[in-house]
Amino acid sequence: MQQFITWKLDKSEFPKRSNVPADPYQLTEVGFSWQKATALHQQALAAQRMKTRAEKRRDLLREATTKIAPLQDAVELGIATEDEIAALNTWKHYRVALNRLDTTTVESEWPVVLR
């Protein structure tokens, strides 16, 4: 007599994963209905897009902070030129705009800094 090991697939765990299946068909192969597989796939894609936007904002904030630091030093030391003061204000406005950016929506427009 053959014995088979069976297990229950815990479908509630899937949306928490970071890997996005190539298509919903992969999910139907492990037991999800087509409707649920499509919904989960779209949810995973949206989460991946949001993560990418958050990473982009983090990188741009890091760049802005790097640009601001020496300009702020010059202002604090009283040796800043008019161009450096203007650049400092521009970068600070840009950094504030980045901090206010909602990375959870695709419709948000990214602020632009004039270089």
For residue 12, the model assigns a pLDDT of 47
Judge contact between 28 and 34, C-beta under 8 A: yes
For residue 20, the model assigns a pLDDT of 64
Report the pLDDT averaged over residues 73-97.
97
AA identity, residue 115 = R
Give CB contacts under 8 A, 24+ apart, made by 34-41.
36/11, 40/14, 40/15
For residue 30, the model assigns a pLDDT of 82
Q: Is the pLDDT of residue 14 over 70?
A: no
Q: Is the pLDDT of residue 78 over 90?
A: yes
Q: Is the pLDDT of residue 93 over 90?
A: yes
The CB density around residue 78, as the number of other CB atoms within 10 Å, is: 6
Judge contact between 101 and 108, C-beta under 8 A: yes
Range name among 13-22, 58-67, 87-96 with the lowest pLDDT average:
13-22
Give the whole-angstrom CA distance, residue 100 versus residue 92: 12
AA identity, residue 37 = A
Q: Is the pLDDT of residue 44 over 50?
A: yes
Q: Is the pLDDT of residue 8 over 60?
A: no
